[in-house]
Amino acid sequence: MLFVKKHIADRISAAAPALFGGTGLGADSLLELLEYPPDSSMGDIALPCFKLARTLRQSPVKIAQALAGCFEGDGDVSAAAVNGYLNFTADNRYLAKTVLGQIAAEGEKYGSPRTGEGKTVVLDYSSPNVAKPFHIGHLGTTVIGHSLKKIHEFAGYSCVGINHLGDWGTQFGKMIVAYRLWGDKEKVEAGGCDALVELYVKFHKEAEADPSLDDRAREEFRKLEQGDPDNIALWQWFKEISLKEYSTTYRQLDIEFDSYAGESFYRDKMAAQLEVLREKGLLKLDGGASLVDLSEYGMPPCLILKKDGSTLYPTRDIAAAYYRHETYHFGRCIYVTSSQQSLYFAQLFKVIELMGYEWADSLVHVPYGTVSINGEKLATRTGNVILLKDLLAMAIEKVDAITKEKNPSMPDDRRAEIAEKVGVGAVVFYYLSNNRIKDINFMLEDALSYEGNTGPYAQYTYARTCSVLEKCGDIPAPRRFVAQTPEEHDLLVALSQFPERVKAALDFYEPSYITRYILDLCAAFNRFYHECPILTSGDPDATACRAAMTSAVNTVLGTAFGLICMKKTKQI
Distance between CA 556 and CA 498 in Å, rounded? 8
Q: How far is the CB of 129 from ligand ARG (least distance, A)?
A: 5
Distance between CA 112 and CA 514 in Å, rounded? 13
Q: How far is the CB of 127 from ligand ARG (least distance, A)?
A: 4
> Which region, judged by CB under 6 A, interacts with ligand ARG, from 8-16, 75-83, 120-128, 428-436?
120-128
For 190, residues 6+ apart whose C-beta sits below 8 A from its C-beta are none
Q: Indicate the residue among 340 and 441 with the shorter CB distance to ligand ARG.
A: 340
Pair 332, 364: CB distance under 8 Å: yes
For 137, residues 6+ apart whose C-beta sits below 8 A from its C-beta are 338, 370, 371, 378
Q: Which of 149, 164, 503, 546 binds ligand ARG (CB under 6 A)?
A: 164
Q: How far is the CB of 159 from ligand ARG (least distance, A)?
A: 16
Q: How many residues bind ligand ARG (CB under 6 A)?
A: 10
| Of 325, 213, 229, 315, residue with least CA distance to 270 | 315
- Is there binding between residue 166 and ligand ARG (CB under 6 A)? yes
Q: Which of 129, 252, 459, 555 binds ligand ARG (CB under 6 A)?
A: 129
- Is there binding between residue 257 and ligand ARG (CB under 6 A)? no
> Which region, judged by CB under 6 A, interacts with ligand ARG, from 9-17, 121-129, 273-281, 555-563?
121-129
Pair 496, 509: CB distance under 8 Å: no
Q: Which of 76, 124, 245, 490 binds ligand ARG (CB under 6 A)?
A: 124
Q: Indicate the residue among 169 and 423 with the shorter CB distance to ligand ARG.
A: 169
| Of 331, 370, 365, residue with least CA distance to 348 | 365
* Residue 168: Cβ within 10 Å count: 23
> Which region, judged by CB under 6 A, interacts with ligand ARG, from 5-13, 78-86, 122-130, 465-473?
122-130
Q: DSSP code of 128?
A: P
- φ/ψ (deg, to 5) at 22: 65, -160
> Which region, judged by CB under 6 A, interacts with ligand ARG, from 114-122, 125-133, 433-441, 496-504?
125-133
Q: Indicate the residue among 94 and 328 with the shorter CB distance to ligand ARG.
A: 328
Q: 43-55: buried (b, 16+ CB within 10 Å) or exposed (e) per residue?
A: bbbbbbbeebbee
Q: Indicate the residue among 224 and 321 with the shorter CB distance to ligand ARG.
A: 321
Pair 144, 338: CB distance under 8 Å: no
Number of alpha helices (DSSP H) and beta strands (DSSP E) in the chain: 22, 12
Q: How far is the CB of 443 from ligand ARG (least distance, A)?
A: 24
- Is there binding between residue 242 and ligand ARG (CB under 6 A)? no
Strands 440-442 and 371-373: parallel
Q: How far is the CB of 199 from ligand ARG (least distance, A)?
A: 19
Q: Indicate the residue among 320 and 544 with the shorter CB distance to ligand ARG.
A: 320
Q: Indicate the residue among 81 and 320 with the shorter CB distance to ligand ARG.
A: 320
- Is there binding between residue 264 and ligand ARG (CB under 6 A)? no
Q: Indicate the residue among 317 and 488 with the shorter CB distance to ligand ARG.
A: 317
Q: How far is the CB of 318 from ligand ARG (least distance, A)?
A: 10
Q: How far is the CB of 186 from ligand ARG (least distance, A)?
A: 29
| Of 386, 548, 389, residue with least CA distance to 468 | 548
Q: How far is the CB of 364 from ligand ARG (least distance, A)?
A: 12
| Of 443, 315, 433, 273, residue with least CA distance to 372 | 443
What CA–CA distances, in Å, run from 522 to 203, 434, 450? 51, 17, 13
- Is there binding between residue 317 and ligand ARG (CB under 6 A)? yes
Q: How far is the CB of 320 from ligand ARG (least distance, A)?
A: 6
Q: How far is the CB of 263 from ligand ARG (least distance, A)?
A: 8
Pair 386, 442: CB distance under 8 Å: no
* Residue 443: Cβ within 10 Å count: 14
Q: 358-393: buried (b, 16+ CB within 10 Å) or exposed (e) per residue?
A: ebbebbebbbbeebbbeeeebebeeeebbbbbebbb
Distance between CA 291 and CA 173 in Å, rounded? 23
> Which region, judged by CB under 6 A, interacts with ligand ARG, from 124-132, 388-396, 400-408, 480-488?
124-132
How long a stretch of residues is the chain?
572
Q: What is the CA angle 561-562-568, rounded to 5?
A: 60
Q: Indicate the residue among 76 and 263 with the shorter CB distance to ligand ARG.
A: 263
In the region spanning residues 320 to 349, those forming contacts with ligand ARG, defined by CB under 6 A, are 320, 335, 337
- Is there binding between residue 127 and ligand ARG (CB under 6 A)? yes
Q: Indicate the residue among 311 and 454 with the shorter CB distance to ligand ARG.
A: 311
Name the strands in the sheet holding 283-286, side by side, starting at the edge strand that comes first in the sequence: 283-286, 289-292, 302-305
- Is there binding between residue 454 and ligand ARG (CB under 6 A)? no
Q: How far is the CB of 461 from ligand ARG (least distance, A)?
A: 35
* Residue 226: Cβ within 10 Å count: 9
> Which region, judged by CB under 6 A, interacts with ligand ARG, from 45-53, 127-135, 180-188, 496-504?
127-135
For 342, residues 6+ apart whose C-beta sits below 8 A from its C-beta are 365, 367
Closest-by-Cβ residue to ligand ARG is 166
Footprint on this chain of ligand ARG (rule: CB under 6 A): 124, 127-129, 164, 166, 317, 320, 335, 337
